[in-house]
């Protein structure tokens, strides 16, 4: 019997208090596309793709090792459209704490022999998939407090994709 595979990724979850204002702003834009479900909003640190379920203990060890990193704040201030109608929020200059966290995570994953889909890190929060082109890019200024790292499982369900938390690890307080 083969080991079942899981579609996994590490990410920063959208803070609960920010979710309603972020979704309200997004929905006010009138963009035609498939909006990301509010519960699925996140900033991906490492997409692992399909992995055997036997790698979960190793991934949990890696996640636990990230707890020494400090909390930080993201300032999301630019709406962009990428290929295939992917509409995202980005930060003009990502905080060094985010870049350090992501680099540490990638080094730990590579040391365990886990291949990553993309070596390039472009911090972003996906708002829409398959969106029509935008004529005007509105001003935006949202603050996102990064307080924990989550290992997510991506599940295809009849109602759409759902990201389920497999585990999470707090970042150290007092840094932002």
Residue 175 lies in a domain: no
Instruction: Return the CATH number at 10.
Output: 3.90.1140.10
The kind and range of the H/E element at 56 are helix 56-65
For the chain (176 residues), the mean pLDDT of every run of 10, in chain order, is 84 95 92 94 95 95 96 94 93 95 95 77 94 86 95 90 95 74
Residue 76 lies in a domain: yes
Are the C-beta atoms of 134 and 81 separated by less than 8 Å? yes
Residue 176 lies in a domain: no
| pLDDT attached to residue 103 | 94
Residue 42 designated active-site? yes
| pLDDT attached to residue 175 | 47
Q: How far apart are CA 156 and CA 133, in angstroms?
A: 27
Domain around 55: 5-170
| pLDDT attached to residue 23 | 95
| pLDDT attached to residue 117 | 65
Q: How far apart are CA 20 and CA 72, in angstroms?
A: 21
Total number of domains constituting the chain: 1
Burial of residue 139 (CB within 10 Å: 0-12, 13-18, 19+) is exposed
Per-residue tokens: 26: 């997004």
Residue 128 lies in a domain: yes
Active-site option among 69, 75, 124, 176? 124
Per-residue tokens: 25: 């702003």
| pLDDT attached to residue 176 | 47
């Amino acid at each position: 019997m083969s080991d079942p595979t899981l579609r996994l990724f590490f990410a920063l979850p959208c803070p609960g208090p920010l979710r309603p204002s972020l979704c309200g702003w997004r929905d006010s834009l009138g963009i035609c596309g498939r909006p990301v479900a509010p519960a699925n909003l996140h900033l991906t640190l490492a997409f692992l793709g399909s992995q055997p379920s036997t790698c979960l203990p190793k991934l949990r060890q890696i996640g636990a090792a990230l707890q020494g990193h400090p909390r930080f704040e993201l300032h999301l201030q630019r709406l962009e459209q990428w290929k295939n109608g992917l509409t995202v929020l980005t930060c003009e200059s990502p905080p060094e704490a985010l870049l350090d966290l992501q680099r540490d995570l990638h080094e730990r994953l590579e040391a365990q022999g886990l291949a990553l889909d993309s070596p390039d890190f472009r911090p972003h929060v996906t708002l829409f998939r398959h969106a029509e082109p935008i004529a005007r890019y509105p001003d935006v200024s949202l603050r996102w407090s990064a307080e924990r790292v989550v290992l997510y499982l991506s599940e295809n369900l009849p109602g759409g994709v759902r990201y389920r938390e497999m585990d999470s690890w707090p970042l150290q307080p007092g840094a932002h």
